[in-house]
Every structure is written in C-alpha cells, then in structure tokens.
Structure 1
Amino acid sequence: MVVLVTAWVAGAQRTRPDDGGSGSTDVVRLGPDPGEDVAAYLTRIAAVPDPEDPQPRLALVQFAAGLTPEAAAPAVGNAVGLRAVVRVPFPRVQTALRDVDLQPAPPLTALRAALTTAAGQARQDAATGAPGTRRTAVAAAEAAALERPDCGCLVAVVVRVAPSDVGSLRSAPGVRGVQVAPVGTARSRLAVSPLLPDQGPVAGPVPDDGPVPTGG
C-alpha cells in the first residue's frame, strides 16, 4: 500500500504493499491544488457523502493548527486512523512533511507512536545530511522538537470513516476541513497534500527565511 504525501515543504514519497482495495488505478489526490484559494478549497470539500451509503470511505482530516496527540485523538472520533502527517511548525522555516503509518491501537497511543517514528526519521536525516547545511540543521531541530511530549506537530490524519460519521469529523474541535475520497478509492492510490495550518489565503509554499531553532 502506498499513500503519497505531496510536500509543500521538504518531504518524501514512500512505497508500501497494496492493501487489496478495489477501485481505479488512477491516483486520487486529497488536498488543495497548488495556488488554490483556501476558502474556495474548504467550500469545495464541504459536500457530505450520502449517510445511507454504509461503505467506508478514505478521508483526509486537516487540522487548523498543529496538534498534540492528546488534542488530535478526539478529532479522529469513530474513524479508523490509518496514517498521520507530521510537521514541526517552526516560524518561517520549511520543515518536512513526515508520512507515518498509524499502529492498530487506540488513537492516542497510535498518534504518540507516530511522533516517535517521525522523530527517528528526523534524526536519521540529520545524521546523514551534509554537515553545516540549513537542511541538516533543520532536521536536527525537528528531531529535538518531536521528542517533546507537547509537540503540536500533527497536521493531518488519513482515516477510514463511515459516511454517517463524516459530519462528526468536520465538527470536531481543531478540525479545519475534511476531504472525502470518492467511493471505492483504494488506499494504494491515495496521494495527500494536506492544507497546512499556516497556509492562506492561497495554498502555496511556506516561507523559508526564518532562523533555525537551536534547541528544537
């Protein structure tokens, strides 16, 4: 199964075994188009699936701010969390979008583990990066931030949700928008470019002219 994260900031695409889902072989992209007006995007994704349709759908839950696991877990509600998108919110610094599988565990446990995994990815990036470069310094600062239990670094979660529960997802505290994939979309064909909390009024690259924190 592969869930592609199309990064507005430094990030990676990871390939995984197919999950056996049915549907088109075409990639289904969730998230705003580059340069799209944010208000228009949020209006575009506001359609509610037919609640009488019992077939679960994949959906991208996007947060209004980077959340801690404790704040993000209630937003998942009755949906099944599949993947977390993690980003450290340093002001005016481009940081990586880290795409992390969620463990089959209660939401809080799974989201805490996602931050631990993301911290390990950042440490690896810092260890293998070119010494003295901005990218390596950013990765080291990310790792330090992600190791703190109060890191508000969860920006989105991919879930599997029943159509009847989409309204509850959208109204959960901290949720900025929920985009539901077309019925029958296989997890292996999902590409994700979440709306970042600091993007607006249009969806575009975040600035990268701020100082890199030295203590995470």
Structure 2
Amino acid sequence: MTTRLRARLAVAAGLLVVLAVAAYAAGGGFRPAAPDSGGPVGSVRLGPDPGQDVRTYLAGLPATLPPAGAPAPALVQLTRPVGVRDAAALAGSVDPAAPAGSADRSGSAGSADVATAVFRVPLTRVQTALRFQPVTGTGDLVAALDVARAGAAHAADADAARADQAVAALAPDAPADARTALARRAAVARAEQRALDDPGCTCVLALVVTADRAGLEALSRDDGVRAVQAAPPGTRPRDLALSPLLPEQTRTVTPPADDGPVPAG
C-alpha cells in the first residue's frame, strides 16, 4: 500500500467519524432505544422525519395515543433540556424539591415507567450528540437517571478519544479541513463530557416511557413537554428508533447551526 493511499484511507476514515457524529447530533440519524440480537431493529420511528414541518408533525401526535387502558411506549419530547430531578418529576415520580432517595416510580396517578433517557448538551450554535441511555432499576428514579447521565458522560469521553485518534492517524499532507473538522468534533465531545459529568447538568431532552392513554395525556399537558408520540401497544423496546425534536427546530426539522465557538475546558 502506497503512502498516498494510506493517507487517503486515513482521511476517509476520519471524515466518516465526522459525518457519523454530525448526523447523530443533528437528529437526522436515529437508533434503537434498546437493541438486542436477532432480526431488524428500529422499525417503529418515534420523532419527526428529517425535513418535516414541525407544526404538521405536532398536529398528528394525538392520533398516536393508545386506546384507554392499553399501555404503550412513547417518546416524551421536552420543551428544553432539564436536569435528572426535574425529568423524574415530569414522569410523575418525585417532587423536584424532595430529598434524594425519596422517589417512587408509582407514586402518582400520572406516573410512567421510564426505559430510556435521551441526553443532549445544549451549546449555542454547536451541534452536540443525542445520547441514548437505558434507565434501569425499580427504586429511586432520580438515582437511575443519574446513572444514565454518567453513562452519557462516558460515551462522550469515548467519542472524544476516537476523534483524537482519527486526528493522530491523519497523514502530514492530509487536507487541513479534514484535520480541523476532526479536531472540532473532539473538542465538542470533550465539552459534552465536562457538562455531563456535572450532576446538575440540564441535559435530559427526552424520555421513553410506558404509560396508558391517561398517563400520556397528562404528560402532554405539562408545560415542560413539547410533544408525546406513542408507538402501538405491544411494541418492543428493540423495535423503537428515536429522533426527538430539538429545541432549535421550530419550523422544519433541519440540522441546527454548527458555526459557534466550542467552550474551552
């Protein structure tokens, strides 16, 4: 293999990293909430399609709610990112002012089982990744969401390491724009990791919950909820593909701006 060919392959690999992260951050790419082995995954999409009109998407959501008494998984999309305690309160589990450890997943009529949390660090005019984390345990939902937050921080750290490795693998004569793009992705991931490491990070953008029609209607009426889209009852977690609305997407579902400065550590 010639030096020139190796350089081209390194540039191509690096650009694949950039494109994958960019699509992921923009919400155009989506992934199963809880993939497992065997068969296709992500056959039921929750969230708008790329390029879709936001008002049209929102108008169609009431028709997705299940019949009365039939629990169904749903993507609860928030108006703006919140912290883990507020996210738990939104699910009907805990008073935001209550001390840690007091959560009860079945503590109110509008409570819902939370299966997945979607984290996104809000940075002005900087695309950041959607990070899907399972929410496990049957006790303190605040604690479970905090474990998920730590998992998202770990994922951001791994993304930064991969981007750094891609930069290091570039040949000396690699295009400057490829090096710049990879270095920016690494810097963004490091900024995400620092934010997600903070237990008070307001980074929960959406939740996947299971609730009946009454519970989902109650969630949809909450001022902090922008949209609730339900899958058909009986949909398995592995069947879900998630693409929540971003706060910046007010008219059409297009990638947010990515021309702002990345916060330094």
TM-score of the two chains, using structure 1 as the length reference: 0.86
Between 9-18 and 135-144, the greater mean CA deviation after superposition: 9-18
Within the candidate set 100, 122, 132, 1:89 is matched to: 122
* 8 Å Cα contact 1:7/1:193 also seen in 2: no
Letter in 1 for 2:127: Q
Aligned to 1:69: 84
Q: Summarize deviations over 1:62-121 as a string: whole Å, max 9, x none.
A: 000011112111111211000011110101111111110112243211211111110111
What secondary structure does 2:26 align onto?
coil
1:36: how far off? 1.2
Q: RMSD of the TM alignment (CA)?
A: 2.4
Q: Summarize deviations over 1:14-38 as a string: whole Å, max 9, x none.
A: 67326xxxxx988011101111111
What secondary structure does 1:103 align onto?
coil
Q: Distance in 2 between matches of 1:121 and 1:149?
A: 16
* 8 Å Cα contact 2:153/2:196 also seen in 1: yes
Letter in 2 for 1:49: P
What secondary structure does 1:115 align onto?
helix
1:202: how far off? 0.9
Aligned to 1:60: 75
Unaligned stretches of 5+ residues in structure 2: 1-22, 93-110, 168-179
Q: Distance in 1 between matches of 2:147 and 2:59?
A: 33
Aligned to 1:190: 240
Letter in 1 for 2:120: R
* 8 Å Cα contact 1:12/1:98 also seen in 2: no
Q: Distance in 2 between matches of 1:71 and 1:128?
A: 32
What secondary structure does 2:123 align onto?
coil
* 8 Å Cα contact 1:115/1:146 also seen in 2: yes
Higher helix proportion (structure 1 or 2): 2
TM-score of the two chains, using structure 2 as the length reference: 0.71
1:8: how far off? 4.9
Q: Which has the larger radius of gyration?
A: 2
Aligned to 2:99: none
Alignment of 1:137 onto 2:182: no
* 8 Å Cα contact 1:58/1:159 also seen in 2: yes
Instruction: Count residues with an aligned counterpart.
Output: 204
* 8 Å Cα contact 2:66/2:212 also seen in 1: no
Letter in 2 for 1:124: A
1:50: how far off? 2.3
Letter in 2 for 1:116: A
Letter in 1 for 2:61: I
Unaligned stretches of 5+ residues in structure 1: 1-5, 19-23
* 8 Å Cα contact 2:187/2:262 also seen in 1: yes
Alignment of 1:112 onto 2:146: yes
Aligned to 1:210: 260
Higher strand proportion (structure 1 or 2): 1
Letter in 2 for 1:101: P
Letter in 2 for 1:203: V
Q: Write out the 4+ residue segments of structure 1 that deviate beyond 2 Å after TM superposition.
A: 6-18, 46-50
Aligned to 1:43: 59
Q: Distance in 1 between matches of 2:123 and 2:91?
A: 25
Q: In the superposition, relative to structure 1, how do residues 25 and 203 fare at CA in structure 2: closer, same or farther (>3 Å)?
A: closer
1:12: how far off? 7.4
Percent identity for Structure 1 against Structure 2: 42
Alignment of 1:17 onto 2:36: yes
Alignment of 1:103 onto 2:118: no
* 8 Å Cα contact 1:50/1:164 also seen in 2: no
Q: Summarize deviations over 1:170-211 as a string: whole Å, max 9, x none.
A: 122411110011122221111110011221111111111010
* 8 Å Cα contact 2:66/2:72 also seen in 1: no
